Amino acid sequence: MTLPGIDQLLEKPEKYLKGKTLGLVVNHTSLASDQRHSIKHFNSCSSFTLNALFAPEHGLYGIAQDMIEIENETDPVSGLTVSSLYGKTEKTLEPDPIALAEIDNLVFDIQDVGARYYTFIYTMAKCMEICKKSNTRMIVCDRPNPINGVSLEGNLVAANYHSFVGQYPIPNRHAMTVGELALFFNHEINIGCELKVVPMTNWNREQWYDETQLYWVSPSPNMPTLDTAVVYPGMCLIEGTQLSEGRGTTRPFENFGAPFIDPYKLSKRVQNDIDQLPGVIFRPHFFKPMFQKHKNKVCGGLQIHVTDRNQFKPLLTTIALLRSVIELYPNEFKWRTEPYEFVSDRLAIDILYGNMDLRETIFNDSFSLSNIEESWQEELDGFKKLRSNYLIY
């Protein structure tokens, strides 16, 4: 059985912590292998005093939907205020340095999903930056990359497209754990904080989450299963369109569509690309989102069924689906234009993809899935080489 880093920290706190006080950056996924929450463990720890709590997007209990402001709340276990790290403005995405003034250690213990869009890793990075300023030691308790630590896919984020869904130049699927990313950010992005990563026990890079014997706890409201995480490195791009990405259904990101789509017509068009899309089949169906895009409207679309997750290419598959919709419905298809993750001067699809290339080429007659996949390779090869310096497992 894989044991998360928090287990080792609790067993040997003096090995990683300094001084006598600490704060926790946690949410509902912050469980030790005994299923007790990190707050509960540290609240009863005699060696260190728990002085502060912080929570990322979706809040301490993972209740709020995406891009919903989180207000401070009170933790019933410790009685401490839980300071939100996801408010109305970009400034609220990092801890107040005053809150860390009397904290010797800030412990990050949150489950990630392995895609660069997921905001928890940037919450971690911003905490590292404030720890550098406040001379607080940053402790990152490592957890599995649920979609394995081997498979990479995608391009890097261009300099002008950094955002809270792509703060640094990493690919859409980075195949790193939060601990490895912390090391990468600290050195390659020059954060330079006093950092300690607490490694896992019994995890290897080829493992998927359901092979760890750990319980799956939905990291956010629309990440209900490991199946969701498998498709997410690609299907999150649907957020940059006016298509429904399945929010408001029981299978978000595995479903997508819109009221104007004929699912059978779309399914037939997608078959043209099936030879380039290993490990997946598509089922035409109708669905009705209960909230968000196309709320209470019947949408036609497809459900993604991954048949071989080791061969499946989530990003290329999503781009193929977008291209199919654009070919069939060029007048109805629209990009999302509303502000997205604190960005209002660039389109959501550009900050999600990491540059304008996809948006500028996907309507062209000459568009090619092979060409776009090839366009990632030089950056991906460079990242893979750099990444090797920070791998723990």
Look at residue 370 and tell me if it is in a domain.
no
Sign of the torsion formed by the C-alpha atoms of 42, 44, 50 and 52: positive
Both 200 and 280 in one domain: the answer is no
Q: H/E element holding 14?
A: helix 13-16
The percent of residues above 90 in pLDDT, for the chain, comes to 97
Q: Which pLDDT does position 46 carry in this prediction?
A: 84
Both 70 and 117 in one domain: the answer is yes
Tell me the CATH number at 265. 3.90.1150.140
Structure tokens at 165: 């869904």
Look at residue 368 and tell me if it is in a domain.
no
- Residue 45 confidence (pLDDT) above 90: no
Q: What is the pLDDT of residues 81-90, one digit of tens each?
A: 999 999 999 9
Residue 200 domain boundaries: 5-218+386-390
Look at residue 380 and tell me if it is in a domain.
no
Q: What is the pLDDT of residues 151-188, one digit of tens each?
A: 999 999 999 999 999 999 999 999 999 999 999 999 99
Both 213 and 236 in one domain: the answer is no
- Residue 101 confidence (pLDDT) above 90: no
Provide the mean pLDDT of the chain.
Answer: 97
Look at residue 375 and tell me if it is in a domain.
no
Domains of the chain: total: 2
Residue type, 78: S
Both 89 and 214 in one domain: the answer is yes
Look at residue 24 and tell me if it is in a domain.
yes
Dist. CA 189–CA 125, nearest whole Å: 10
Residue type, 234: G
Q: What is the pLDDT of residues 312-321, one digit of tens each?
A: 999 999 999 9
Both 184 and 326 in one domain: the answer is no
Both 175 and 233 in one domain: the answer is no
Is the pTM for the entire model greater than 0.85? yes
Q: What is the pLDDT of residues 340-369, one digit of tens each?
A: 999 999 999 999 999 999 999 999 999 999
Q: What is the pLDDT of residues 115-128, one digit of tens each?
A: 999 999 999 999 99
CB 134 within 8 A of CB 101: yes
Both 235 and 208 in one domain: the answer is no
Look at residue 246 and tell me if it is in a domain.
yes
Which of 90, 122, 129 minimizes the C-alpha distance to 106?
129
Tell me the CATH number at 141. 3.40.50.12170
Distances from the Cα of 252 to the Cα of 25, 64, 186, 244, angstroms? 26, 15, 33, 9
Look at residue 378 and tell me if it is in a domain.
no
CB 355 within 8 A of CB 162: no
Q: Which pLDDT does position 219 carry in this prediction?
A: 97
Look at residue 128 and tell me if it is in a domain.
yes
Both 210 and 239 in one domain: the answer is no
Both 230 and 332 in one domain: the answer is yes
Tokens 């479903």 -> residue: 255
Distance of CA 393 to the CA centre of its chain: 20
Distances from the Cα of 271 to the Cα of 76, 258, 264, 275, angstroms? 53, 19, 11, 8
Structure tokens at 149: 């630590």
Both 151 and 209 in one domain: the answer is yes
Dist. CA 57–CA 87, nearest whole Å: 8
Query: What band does 102 get if pLDDT is binned at 50, 70 and 90?
Result: confident
Both 63 and 179 in one domain: the answer is yes
The count of other CB atoms within 10 Å of the CB of residue 15 is 10
Dist. CA 255–CA 244, nearest whole Å: 8
Both 99 and 236 in one domain: the answer is no
